[in-house]
A and B are shown apart, each in its own frame.
Chain A
Amino acid sequence: MIIAVSGADQAEFPHLFEQSSRLRHQVFVEEMGWEDLRRADGREFDQFDDEHAVHHFCVRDGAVVGYQRMLPTTRPNLLSSVFPELCEGTPPCSDRIWELTRYCVAPEHRDGRRGVSTAGSELIAGFVEWGMSSGIDNVIIEFEPMWVLRAMQLQFLARPLGFQRKIGNQQIVATQVTFGQRTIDAIRAFRGAHAPVLELWGRLGEATPQALAV
Chain B
Amino acid sequence: MADYDETLAFITSIDDAPTVDEVCRRLLGLSSRFGLTGVIAGTMPGSGTPPSDQQRHILLEGWPDGWIEHYVQRDYVHIDPVIERIRSDRNPFMWDEAPIAPTLRREAATMNGEAREFGLAGGMAVPLVTLEGKIASVSFGGHHIELSPDDRSMLALVSIYAIGRAFRLSRPTSPVPTCLSPRETEAIRWAAIGKTDWEISMIMAISEHTAARHLANAKRKLGAANRAHAVAEAIRAGIVR
Contacts and interface: CB of A to CB of B under 8 A. Distances in A.
Interface stretch (A8-16, A18-26, A27-35, A148-156): A148-156
Interface in B150-199: 150, 153-154, 156-157, 160-161, 163-165, 167-168, 173, 175-176, 178
A149 B7 contact: no
Interface stretch (A46-54, A58-66, A69-77, A112-120): A112-120
B2 A154 contact: no
Interface string A178-203: 00111011100110000000000000
B225 A211 contact: yes
Band of interface residues on B: 35 or more
B225 A115 contact: no
Interface in B11-36: 11-12, 15
A180 B219 CA distance: 11
Contacts of B121: none
A162 interface: yes
A105 B222 CA distance: 31
B171 to A, nearest CB: 9
A126 B78 CA distance: 41
B129 A182 contact: no
- What does DSSP make chain A's interface, helix, strand, loop or mixed? mixed
A92 to B, nearest CB: 14
B216 A214 contact: yes
Contacts of A211: 219-220, 224-225
A149 B91 CA distance: 14
A148 B161 contact: yes
Nearest to A152: B164
Interface string B203-223: 000000000100110011111
Contact of A88 (B4, B157, B160, B165): B4
Interface in A65-94: 88-89
A163 B154 contact: yes
A184 B129 contact: no
B8 interface: yes
Interface string A144-170: 111011111111011110111000000
B131 A115 contact: yes
A135 B225 contact: yes
Given A145-B156, A148-B164, A214-B215, A162 B222 contact: no
B154 to A, nearest CB: 6
13 contacts: A89-B4, A112-B133, A114-B135, A115-B132, A132-B223, A146-B128, A146-B160, A148-B160, A153-B167, A154-B131, A155-B173, A160-B11, A181-B178
6 closest cross-chain pairs (CB), A and B: A115-B133, A181-B223, A152-B164, A88-B4, A114-B133, A135-B225
